[in-house]
Amino acid sequence: MPGADKEADLTERIEAFLADLKRGGCGTGPIRGSGETARETTALLRKVTAQARWSSAGDLMEIIRKEGRRMTAAQPSETTVGNMVLRVLKIIREEYARSRGSSEETDQQESLHKLLTSGGLSDENFRQHYVHLKANVIEAINELLTELEGTTDNIAMQALEHIHSNEVIMTVGRSRTVEAFLKDAARKRKFHVIVAECAPFCQGHEMATNLSKASIETTVIADAAIFAVMSRVNKVIIGTQTVLANGGLRAVNGTHTVALAARHHSTPLIVCAPMFKLSPQFPNEEDTFHKFVSPHEVLPFTEGEILSKVNVHCPVFDYVPPELITLFISNIGGNAPSYIYRLMSELYHPEDHDL
Partner 1 sequence: MADCGEPDGPGNKDDITRSKNEGKELTKEEKQRLRKQKKHQKKQKERKNEKGPSETEKDKTPVSLLPPPQPVATQKAPSALPAPASAPIPVPASAPFHSSPAPSPADKPAKSKAELKAERRARQETDRAAKQPGSSSSGIKTKVPLSELNPVVKRLPEHVQVDDPAVVKRLAKKLERQQTLPYGASNKIPLRSDYGYKVSLFSHLHQYSRKAPLTQLLSIPSTVIHPSIVRLGLQYSQGIVAGSNARSVALLHAFKQVIRDYTTPPNEELSRDLVNKLKPYISFLNQCRPLSASMGNAIKYIKKEISNIPSQCKEEEAKTKLLTCIDRYIEEKIVLAAKAISKYAIEKISDGDVILVYGYSSLVNNILCEAFEKSRKFRVIVVDSRPRLEGREALRRLVQRGISCTYVLISALSYILPEVSKVFLGAHALLANGYVMSRVGTSQIALVARTYNVPVLVCCETYKFCERVQTDSFVSNELDDPDDLMVTRKGKTQLENWQDVSSLGLLNLVYDVTPPDFVDLVITDLGMIPCTSVPVVLRVKNLDQ
By the rule CB under 8 A, 197 interacts with partner 1 = yes
Site for partner 1 in 306-325 (CB under 8 A): 306, 309-315, 318-319
**Alpha-carbon dihedral 337, 262, 179, 223, rounded to 10 degrees:** -130
DSSP H or E segment with residue 153? helix 133-157
Site for partner 1 in 237-266 (CB under 8 A): 253-254, 256-257, 260-261, 264
State which residue, 296 or 349, has the beta carbon closest to partner 1.
296
Binding residue for partner 1, selected from 65, 183, 290, 349, defined by CB under 8 A: 290
Q: How many residues does the chain have?
A: 355
By the rule CB under 8 A, 187 interacts with partner 1 = no
By the rule CB under 8 A, 226 interacts with partner 1 = yes
By the rule CB under 8 A, 212 interacts with partner 1 = yes
Q: How far is the CB of 59 from partner 1 (least distance, A)?
A: 43
By the rule CB under 8 A, 205 interacts with partner 1 = yes
By the rule CB under 8 A, 298 interacts with partner 1 = yes
Give the CB-side neighbour count of residue 205, counting CA atoms within 13 A: 6
First to last CA, the chain: 33
Per-residue mark of binding to partner 1, 19-38 (x: CB under 8 A): ---------x----------
DSSP string, 5-73: HHHHHHHHHHHHHHHHHHHH-SSS--SS-HHHHHHHHHHHHHHHHHHS--SSHHHHHHHHHHHHHHHHH
Cα angle 199, 298, 194; round to 5? 10
> Which positions lie near partner 1, rule CB under 8 A?
28, 197-202, 205-206, 208-209, 212-213, 215-229, 231-232, 253-254, 256-257, 260-261, 264, 290, 298-299, 303, 306, 309-315, 318-319
